[in-house]
Structure 1
Amino acid sequence: MHNNKKAVSTLLPLVLASAVAMTVSQSAVAEIVLYDQDDTTFSTDGYFNTFYVHSDVERAGEQFDRKQSRVKMGFLPNWIGFNFGKQVGDLKLGGRSSFWVTINDSESNGTETGIDVRQFYATAANEQWGEVLFGKDFGLFG
């Protein structure tokens, strides 16, 4: 039911705790080198930007009350990438494949996911003529 004093005293600590948590929280970005021997490298990296939302709404009339929990993501999607590099004489070969995943859910569809392969390419480079990229590189920051 409606009780404004109760709502303020209940919500104020929650709002303050949420503000502090958002101020000190950061998204996680990591690169892990899995193999680095014999002029060959293999690594993986990723970006994780996901949070949990819970709401408990009480309105006049019990049929309008609602409790729900959702998994959301921020503005940028989560992604995982795999990188390859090999030195062959004076030629540096490389490659990357990254999968960008959305995980927002909705009230009607449950968890709705989508996978987007935004980076899938191979490279060949040397100091005389630079680097050539074959494939697609639709990353946001590089």
Structure 2
Amino acid sequence: MDKAREKINAYRAEAEAANERAEAADQQLKLVLAQQTEREQELISLQNRVQLLEEEADKRDAQLAEAKQIQQDNAATLNQSDIVLKNANTQEERIDNLEIQLREAIKNAQELDLLNEGLQRRLTQKEKDLETAETEYETLKETYTALKNEFEEAMRSLDEM
């Protein structure tokens, strides 16, 4: 009888250990899902930032076109060469500044694209990690079920004795 109780206690300990492993896998799954959600939110934020930078680049393009148009209009309407020259220099400086701002905006957009790609890779890796955790959870669940069935079968055998 003591041996049977020892076996029952051993099976209970195994079942408790399997439950603890399943709970740990469940916690890890929740953590991975939370991280995935965080990464998705970060990705959305970066995509919004890229969109804003692209809009800013478009705005700068429009300002550049406007500045060029103003420069052309000023050159056509002004008769005095000194005033035309002064306005042209001012407009060229403004164009240069706008071109620099545009280059910076494009550079920022490219950096964000690279960052976005890195985040995409990290997200893909996290998804693979999640799949691995889910597979491990399923394996643990199957082991638990097998142990539970084995325990119940042992209990039935003991009851029949």
Same-fold status (TM-score > 0.5): no
For this structure pair, what is the TM-score category when the shorter chain's length is used for normalisation? under 0.3
> Which one has more relative contact order, counting CA pairs under 8 Å at least 6 apart?
2
Structure possessing the higher radius of gyration over alpha carbons: 2
Q: Which structure features the higher share of strand residues?
A: 1
TM-score scaled by length of structure 1: 0.27
TM-score scaled by length of structure 2: 0.24
